Structure 1
Amino acid sequence: MTSDSTAPAHPRADAEAATPAELWDERYRLSDRIWSGNPNTVLVREVAGLEPGRALDLGCGEGADAVWLAGLGWQVTATDLSRVALERAAVHAADAGVADRVDWQWHDLGASFPDGEFDLVSAQFLHSMADLPRERILRRAAAAVAPGGILLVVGHAGFPHWETDPDPSVRFPTPDEVLASLEPAPGEWEVLLSGEHERVQNDPDGNPTTRTDNALKIRRR
């Protein structure tokens, strides 16, 4: 997933019987473009100086992060639950001239996961309106990081102020909680970044508002 939406946050209310993939496909069909089209700011800040290698983008949405990474020379595997999003992402990559550097893969990450080891694994706003075994997915993400590679996890710290009926069962873990959930072996990882940050995002009416997010960046020793 990405961070800046330009469309309603939820599909129609009678979608309880739909699968998670169907829910996300429906959400993407609400608009010609859901996200801003720009790479996530923390990814840009934390990755811009790294030597390009193999990258894995989890929950790639319409592909802005993957296309940006490919433009820097990374060979990217990008995955999402929505085939509608992946189709748009492939068009974005072709328009940007990097189609040969991105492998778009459909995965329900709770059930399947891309093969291989990666120098960078990025999970940007891996939240979902459907059930998502996030901790288990992030442990698989950590296992996919090659020696010396980076895992970057960015997430919301809470609901936006315009959310009128937030689900009280939804938790937004802190960076320390994310790290603990990875169940790292002693000395296995070096913590490079762990903390909260603020950013400006437009609300559904187009008004700028401040949101708090958190980020964890760790390197496998």
Structure 2
Amino acid sequence: MSDEGFWDSRYAEQHHVWSGAPNVVLAREVSGLPPGRALDLGCGEGGDAIWMAGLGWAVTAVDISGVALDRAAARAAEAGVTIDFQRHDLAASFPAGSYDVVSAQFLHSRAGLPRERVLRAAAGAVAPGGILLIEGHQDFGPFAAQSLDHGDAHFPEPDEVVAALELPEGEWEVLLSEVHDRLQNGPDGQPAHRTDSTVKLRRLRH
């Protein structure tokens, strides 16, 4: 199944897949920033994008799934915020523009997404003085039993993520590169521990 088909099917199975709340690390790292232009890669049902738009950010939100984008647009309308939703297969196309924050929250895929190349494009979309925020998994957590057919999946360490970005020397500052624990509801609905990673970088002004 294609990446697009997988995610359309996943979203069509349930009325909502995610909580609708912004990702915890995004909320923590963005709350104190002055609103500007933001790019949300893999926006899903729009929780992060709607939250940022509510704070005054001009948000472009991207996903491969038309089902997810339709749902996100409906929820944005309910929330009374305007968001530029765009459908992209990031393996093939990338939104134009320059942004003060580019966010990639759990941009993982089962269908061979060229994640490193996509994240390099994300870095290229950050304006001088802007922030690139990448949140990723380090393990399957409570979903390990459901992921046996993806046992060869590689979850890169934060330092691997930074190295793979191939950033020009002297043009970026690493603000965070860390692994941390997070509670997430498992398939049985009970909270369980999962290990995630955070990479936060600032593009320097010259």
TM superposition score normalised by structure 1: 0.89
The aligned amino acid for 2:143 is W
Give the corresponding residue for 1:39.
22
- Per residue, is there more helix in 1 or in 2? 2
Paired residue secondary structure (1:148): strand
**Could you tell me whether the CA contact under 8 Å between 1:142 and 1:182 is conserved in 2?**
yes
- Quote the offset at 1:198 in angstroms: 1.1
Give the corresponding residue for 1:108.
89
Give the corresponding residue for 2:72.
89
Corresponding residue to 2:186 among 203, 207, 220:
203
Across the aligned residues of Structure 1 and Structure 2, the Cα RMSD in angstroms comes to: 0.9
The aligned amino acid for 2:23 is N
Give the corresponding residue for 1:64.
47
Paired residue secondary structure (2:136): strand
Tell me the matched-pair count.
Answer: 202
Give the corresponding residue for 1:182.
165
Corresponding residue to 2:36 among 36, 49, 53:
53
Percent sequence identity is 61
**Structure 2 residue ranges without an equivalent (≥5):** none
- Quote the offset at 1:166 in angstroms: 4.8
Equivalences for residues 143-162 of structure 1 within 5 A: 143-162=124-143
Paired residue secondary structure (1:162): helix
- Quote the offset at 1:168 in angstroms: 3.1
**Could you tell me whether the CA contact under 8 Å between 1:159 and 1:166 is conserved in 2?**
no
Give the distance between the partners of 1:206 and 1:33, measured in 2 at CA: 15
**Could you tell me whether the CA contact under 8 Å between 2:141 and 2:192 is conserved in 1?**
no
Are 1:220 and 2:206 matched, yes or no? no
Corresponding residue to 2:98 among 88, 104, 117:
117
Equivalences for residues 2-41 of structure 1 within 5 A: 18-41=1-24
The aligned amino acid for 1:213 is D
Paired residue secondary structure (1:51): coil
Give the distance between the partners of 1:24 and 1:68, measured in 2 at CA: 22
After superposition, give the CA deviation of every residue in 1:27-67 in whole Å (9 maximum; x if it has no partner).
10110000111100000000000011000000000000000
Give the distance between the partners of 2:181 and 2:99, measured in 1 at CA: 29
- Quote the offset at 1:169 in angstroms: 2.5
Describe the shift of the 1:22–1:162 C-alpha distance in structure 2 as closer, same or farther (beyond 3 A).
closer
The aligned amino acid for 2:77 is A
Give the distance between the partners of 1:163 and 1:199, measured in 2 at CA: 15
Give the corresponding residue for 2:177.
194
The aligned amino acid for 1:176 is D
Give the distance between the partners of 1:167 and 1:128, measured in 2 at CA: 11
